[in-house]
Structure 1
Amino acid sequence: MNRLLKLMEEKLLPFAHRVAGQRHLGALRDGFITLIPLLIIGSIFLIIQNFPIPGWDVKQVEWFGAAFPDLITLPAKATFDLLSLYVVFAISYRLAQHYKMDAITTGILSLVSFLIIAPKTLKSESGEVISNVIPMGEWFGSKGLLVAIIIAILVTEIYNFFLKRKIIIKMPEQVPPTVAKAFSALIPAFTMFSLMLVVSILFLQTPYHSLNEFIYVMLAKPITLFIANNVFGALATCISITLLWSIGINSGSLVNGVLRPFWLDLQKENMNAIQAGQPLPNIITEQFFDMIWIGGAGTTLAVAIILIFRAKSRQFKELGRIAGAPGLFNINEPILFGLPIILSPLMLIPFNLAPVAITVVNYFAMYFDLVARPTGVVIPWTTPPIIQGFMITNSWTGAVLQVVDLIIAGLIYYPFIKMVDRQKYKEEITEK
């Protein structure tokens, strides 16, 4: 185990730091983090409409009128169904900040470029095709995220290329800086918009009819099917997060930032199924992993509970009390660095094993419909366990599953904690 840790420190740690510091991945991560409050608010309104009280669907119509179910979901539609528009701006904005460019202008250029590329047709219920509209959902929702990410990065890089080489319209010094900045964007903007228009026209001549359809069929769909939406992909995600945490890298935001675009599409499919009154098609969403990280990465709330009630060492018992409160809100640095778990050859075994076991249990419990699947609603990551499971699945079965998860994690951690606690207890007796 020591040799493995040394190898990870020498080889994996530098590589992980380079990946975490990569500007495009950083912009991707920060852009999505910026939008999380928006998604949480939209999800709250979806929860109100689908609150798990028998007869609530009938009562809300009786109390507030027949239009209420559609009206109450408008905030959710305005966030999730236009998500690609916000993402293209947010990622471009963050990347422009890295280059110390005018972030607002860059974000707007990316937004307009995306609008030029994205299909702008809508098919009515009668089958009539309506042109020149921005339909909510489809390519402007989660389905268009991959194209939004590509355009955000491409436009920002092109704009940075023009600015660095001063291929811009230069205004006299007497002109106010704000006006000068606006004119400096003219040549890059014309070039980018022309490029997007040419790409859009070229794809109209293909069977795909749009860049969005091409990217979705060739990239997004296969990645979602073979990586993001199966038990093996879930296990790979889980292991990659705990392995990186094992050497002290806060890997959740890094891994989530890469996979979030694919998870969001799966979440949206589940939301659409709820609206249509159909069974939820997907198990793997970002919230599936939220249910696993009870107390934080490694499912460490179980560790705090064991320390509080079973530790003989005064130091560990006190650590459990200190770590218990933040652990309820999925903050586990006191446990990770106080026990410690990080870089501990012994404690890293259950730290990596417990989440894997829980991932398998949770996946198949949902696969065989013993537990409700994640609805797709986004809730704050600090939501306490049990409540979290209920809100994610909109069912009491989700809350029960998290209790089972805690027990499984506790059984895996207990023999290892007992060993380190016995050693610490002996040290404390010797010191006396």
Structure 2
Amino acid sequence: MNKFMEFLENILLPIADKLNNNRYLTALRDGFMVALPFIIFGSIFVVLANLPFLDRLIGEEAFATYQNALAPASESTLSLMGLFVIVGIGYKLTQRYGLEAIYGGTVAIASFLILTPQVLEGVAGAIPAVSLGAEGMFLGIVTAFVSAELYRFFTQKNWTIKMPAGVPDQVSKSFSALIPVALTLSIFLVLRIVFSFTPFDTIQNFIYTLIQEPLTALGSGLPATIIAVLLIQVFWFFGLHGQIIINSVFDPIWYALNNENLQAFQAGQEIPNVVTKQFIDTFLVGMGGTGMTLAVIILILIIGRSRQMKELGKLGAPASIFNVNEPIIFGLPIVMNPLSLIPWILAPVVVTIITYFAMSTGIVPKPAGIIVPWTTPPLLSGFLATGNAWQGAVLQAFNLVVVMIIWWPFLKIIDKSYYENEKKSSN
């Protein structure tokens, strides 16, 4: 194991050092750090608003009132986290160039909003909230980079308005930014107009059409499920909400298979299908969120030495128990972090294969078709999803250990990198 660790360090750490000096990846990482407090706040209230089985304890009407009261906390933060990330990236990249950073952040968000459809169900001027959250993240990241670079280009070309001496500093800065901001936004407006004359109408439709249409040819079964899981992980790594993309294609298939299992379970017949909606939601996503990151949190709390990792583990653990994992996805970070790519993709695929064969061979009962609330903690959710079978909980526990083993060497390297950087900063 030591030789394997040395091998990984010799390969991955030099790459990490080079990437840490890359202005775009640094801005991306720091941009997510700007959004992290809002993400954690929103995640806490998502958990509180969706406590499993609370509707049965207090009644559906009281539960709906309770959820409506807490909804603004997550809707104003977690649901709009794309906006915070975009501002953070634009700000940090512009700051790296030694320019007025606030204009880099604001021109990034304005550019993104220009590209975003502003019609919702026939109502003009209404921006769909989903476009401002994780679903719009990929376009937002690209827009932030391009807009910040355009702003820098126009500013460094001195295409600015020079105010006479004696004008207050903030007024002078505002006029100085006017032409670079106007030119940058004009370019994005032209881009929006161009796409309006295409069959896609918007850039968002262009992105999702190219991604989703090839997926419609896939069906159910283990090979298709592995492909679906793999794509979810890859899309998330690049900042795209993988589940929104993949589930929109596979949910009709998974739900139909789920209903077949439920009918068989209620009739006392043999359950026909292994892969169902609950197979995905309970034994993959329902283990701390996408990528089964509860295992990562546990591992951080066990082996973490760096201050950053320890604090992330403490902050991310409560939400992760209820399968909310934005804090770890954007706090570690996992998005666009080459050190996390291998375990992030490999672990869910391995667990998919293990779970499939455990159920297909009868070691663990197949999902009974029971829809378990998505915030139900692991072990309990596995027990319920398999028709109150203890083997479901044991399988979840085993899979958590598998994920921890896969992540362990990579998390050690990430932690070591953070720890060394913290030592350098303190000297």
TM range (shorter): 0.5 to 0.7
Q: In the alignment, what sits opposite 2:124? A: 131
Tell me the alpha carbon deviations over residues 57-76 of structure 1, each in whole angstroms, 9 at most, x when there is no partner.
Answer: 57255547x54433322322
8 Å contact kept, 1:168–1:184: yes
Instruction: Classify 1:399/1:211 alpha carbon distance in 2 versus 1 (closer, same or farther; 3 Å).
Output: same
Structure 1 length as normaliser, TM-score?
0.59
Within a 5 Å distance, the mapping from 1:244-259 to structure 2 comes to 258-259=237-238
Q: In the alignment, what sits opposite 2:293? A: 290
Matched, 1:27 2:27: yes
Moved more, 280-289 or 104-113: 280-289
Amino acid at match of 2:125: N
- Aligned counterpart in structure 2 of residue 189 of structure 1, from 157, 172, 181: 181
Amino acid at match of 2:58: K
| Offset, 1:31 | 1.6
Amino acid at match of 1:150: V
Matched, 1:59 2:53: no
| Offset, 1:12 | 4.8
- Aligned counterpart in structure 1 of residue 156 of structure 2, from 148, 158, 164: 164
Q: In the alignment, what sits opposite 1:101? A: 99
- SS class of match (1:185): helix
Amino acid at match of 1:75: A
Give the aligned length: 328
Larger Rg: 1
Distance (Å, rounded) in 1 between the aligned partners of 2:92 and 2:247:
25
| Unaligned stretches of 5+ residues in structure 2 | 219-223, 253-258, 260-276, 317-341, 360-365, 387-391, 407-427
8 Å contact kept, 1:88–1:111: yes
Instruction: Classify 1:396/1:237 alpha carbon distance in 2 versus 1 (closer, same or farther; 3 Å).
Output: closer
Q: In the alignment, what sits opposite 1:71? A: 69
Matched, 1:217 2:209: yes
Amino acid at match of 1:194: S
Amino acid at match of 1:404: F
Distance (Å, rounded) in 2 between the aligned partners of 1:34 and 1:268:
29
Q: In the alignment, what sits opposite 2:274? A: none
Amino acid at match of 1:130: V
Within a 5 Å distance, the mapping from 1:259-278 to structure 2 comes to 259-263=238-242, 265=244
Moved more, 204-213 or 25-34: 25-34
| Offset, 1:185 | 0.8
| Offset, 1:110 | 1.2
Distance (Å, rounded) in 2 between the aligned partners of 1:189 and 1:207:
30
Within a 5 Å distance, the mapping from 1:18-417 to structure 2 comes to 18-53=18-53, 56=55, 59=58, 61=60, 63=62, 67-123=65-121, 129-137=122-130, 139-218=131-210, 231=226, 258-263=237-242, 265=244, 283=284, 287-293=290-296, 295-296=298-299, 301=302, 360-361=350-351, 365=355, 369=367, 389=378, 403-405=397-399
Amino acid at match of 1:115: L
8 Å contact kept, 1:296–1:327: no
Amino acid at match of 1:148: G
Q: In the alignment, what sits opposite 2:272? A: none
Distance (Å, rounded) in 2 between the aligned partners of 1:58 and 1:375:
14
Tell me the alpha carbon deviations over residues 260-296 of structure 1, each in whole angstroms, 9 at most, x when there is no partner.
Answer: 4435756998xx99xxxx9577646964341332643
Instruction: Classify 1:408/1:116 alpha carbon distance in 2 versus 1 (closer, same or farther; 3 Å).
Output: closer
| Offset, 1:50 | 2.2
Q: In the alignment, what sits opposite 1:316? A: none
Q: Percent identity?
A: 28
| Offset, 1:43 | 2.6
Instruction: Classify 1:266/1:370 alpha carbon distance in 2 versus 1 (closer, same or farther; 3 Å).
Output: farther
8 Å contact kept, 2:50–2:67: no
Instruction: Classify 1:134/1:394 alpha carbon distance in 2 versus 1 (closer, same or farther; 3 Å).
Output: farther
Distance (Å, rounded) in 2 between the aligned partners of 1:40 and 1:394:
29
- SS class of match (1:82): helix
Q: In the alignment, what sits opposite 2:256? A: none
| Offset, 1:395 | 7.7
Amino acid at match of 1:56: D
Say what the alpha-carbon RMSD is for the aligned residues.
5.1
Amino acid at match of 2:128: P
| Offset, 1:176 | 2.1
Amino acid at match of 2:127: I
Tell me the alpha carbon deviations over residues 361-405 of structure 1, each in whole angstroms, 9 at most, x when there is no partner.
Answer: 36754996489999887xxxxxxxxx9747999989997556434
8 Å contact kept, 1:170–1:184: yes
Distance (Å, rounded) in 1 between the aligned partners of 2:404 and 2:104:
50
Distance (Å, rounded) in 2 between the aligned partners of 1:262 and 1:171:
45
| Offset, 1:83 | 2.9
Amino acid at match of 1:109: V
Instruction: Classify 1:376/1:219 alpha carbon distance in 2 versus 1 (closer, same or farther; 3 Å).
Output: farther
Distance (Å, rounded) in 1 between the aligned partners of 2:195 and 2:43:
35
8 Å contact kept, 1:42–1:76: yes
